[in-house]
Amino acid sequence: MVSLKRALLFFTVIFFAVAPFTALRAAEEAHHDGESKSQAEEIQEYSQHHLEDDYYFSLFTDKKAGKHYGFPLPVILIDGGLKVFSSGKFHHGESVVEKDGQHYKLHHGKIYKTDATGTLTFDEHHHATNAKPLDFSITKNVVGLFLAAALLFWGFISLAGTYKKGPNALPRGMGRALEPLVLYVRDEMAMPNIGHRYKEFMPYLLSVFFLIFVLNLLGLTPLGFNVTGNISVTLCLALFTFLITNFKANKDYWKHIFWMPGVPVPFKFVLAPIEVLGMFTKPFSLMLRLFANITAGHSVVMGLIAIVYLFQQQLTVPGSIGVSLVLTLILTFLELLVAFLQAFIFTMLSSLFIGMAVEEHAHH
């Protein structure tokens, strides 16, 4: 219990410390005296940019000076061969990049093939119709995944090193914060839902819980990651749960899907398609729930910060910066709760689905 309290205190102090910087960064980047865009449009553009993936790791932007502070990421394309170059050559979409006789242009976060002048064709919905190369670039979300993986390796190697010293050794450092969460996943999710076979699935459940949790926490920092708010990431996580559930399922699981025992034969033909559909709706709900909640949380936080900033500019309320910081602290605390809750829900439902697939039914 003491370790759990210290772990929660550790995470709370760290992310409360960076919360005001998140507020100031959002407010500062949202504001500038633009000539062609209103302030509301600037705020909306910033919010959308935060939620989307990017080829350039932006820290902040000085709109008045027209400078972007950050660093470019490597672009890796497969288009008649391997093509590697820095995303800085795009100059944030303003320039056309020539590589091995091919020309590429960055438009609305996607790379298109074009000519030397950067010509793009559009359909009636103003979507670019140019061909796109096969893209394996290291984007901002990929950097976030690498960072989360490095943090997890560091923490769990530290925890594993403690256990090697003996059963009575106490974890230190990051291991002390991880141990109560590991025990929580084992005792509250894996064992109740899966049963005696829980050890077989603990590596996956621990991996998915801590990966989602760490990525959600990184999303609260001024680095501005939104990895779990990318539907491609949540799709991959849900796909792993789907594959593990169905490849590890026993014959009773498949019998209950295709030939439900204990019901009249005509109803079995009705229930079978419904059960098959349920196989796909379960991972779909996992994917959509995580994506929607994280995206909505980030949007609400930035939206409320923007509202406070607009009130400051229009009403010149004294101490409005303090109000902004207090609101951001409260909202960041709620986001911290959501970060844990979404990792918990995804892992809990995954263990429940796996437990239903491997459950051994008594036959009378």
Helix (H), strand (E), coil (C) string for the chain: CHHHHHHHHHHHHHHHHHHHHHHHHHHHHHCCCCCCCCHHHHHHHHHHHHHCCCCEEEEEEECCCCEEEEEECEEEEECCCEEEEEHHHHCCCCCEEEECCEEEEEECCEEEEECCCCCCCECCCCCECCCCCEECCCCHHHHHHHHHHHHHHHHHHHHHHHHCCCCCCCCCCHHHHHHHHHHHHHHHHHHHHHHHHHHHHHHHHHHHHHHHHHHHHHCCCCCCCCCCCCHHHHHHHHHHHHHHHHHCCCHHHHHHHHCCCCCCHHHHHHHHHHHHHHHHHHHHHHHHHHHHHHHHHHHHHHHHHHHHHHHHHHHCCCCHHHHHHHHHHHHHHHHHHHHHHHHHHHHHHHHHHHHHHHCCCCCC
94 and 220 share one domain: no
Confidence of residue 148 (pLDDT cuts 50, 70, 90): very high
172 and 303 share one domain: yes
Does 174 or 117 have the greater pLDDT score? 117
123 and 191 share one domain: no
Tell me the percentage of the chain whose pLDDT exceeds 70: 76
- Tell me how many domains the chain contains: 2
pLDDT at 308: 65
pLDDT at 325: 65
189 and 115 share one domain: no
Over residues 293-319, the mean pLDDT reads 68
150 and 125 share one domain: no
pLDDT at 31: 42
Does 121 or 321 have the greater pLDDT score? 121
Range of the domain at 90: 74-137
pLDDT at 93: 78
Asked whether residue 217 is assigned to any structural domain, the reply reads yes
220 and 300 share one domain: yes
Does 5 or 283 have the greater pLDDT score? 283
pLDDT at 127: 83
Asked whether residue 7 is assigned to any structural domain, the reply reads no
Confidence of residue 362 (pLDDT cuts 50, 70, 90): low
Does 160 or 247 have the greater pLDDT score? 247
pLDDT at 29 over 50: no
Q: What does the pLDDT look like over 206-231, one tens digit per residue?
A: 999 999 999 998 888 877 788 888 88
* Stretch among 149-153, 278-282, 293-297, 354-358 having the lowest mean pLDDT: 293-297
Q: What does the pLDDT look like over 84-102, one tens digit per residue?
A: 998 888 887 788 888 888 8
220 and 103 share one domain: no
204 and 95 share one domain: no
Tell me the percentage of the chain whose pLDDT exceeds 90: 25
Does 111 or 64 have the greater pLDDT score? 111
Global model pTM greater than 0.85 = no
211 and 289 share one domain: yes
Last residue of a domain, one of 122, 137, 152: 137
Q: What does the pLDDT look like over 164-200, one tens digit per residue?
A: 777 677 777 777 888 889 999 999 999 999 988 899 9
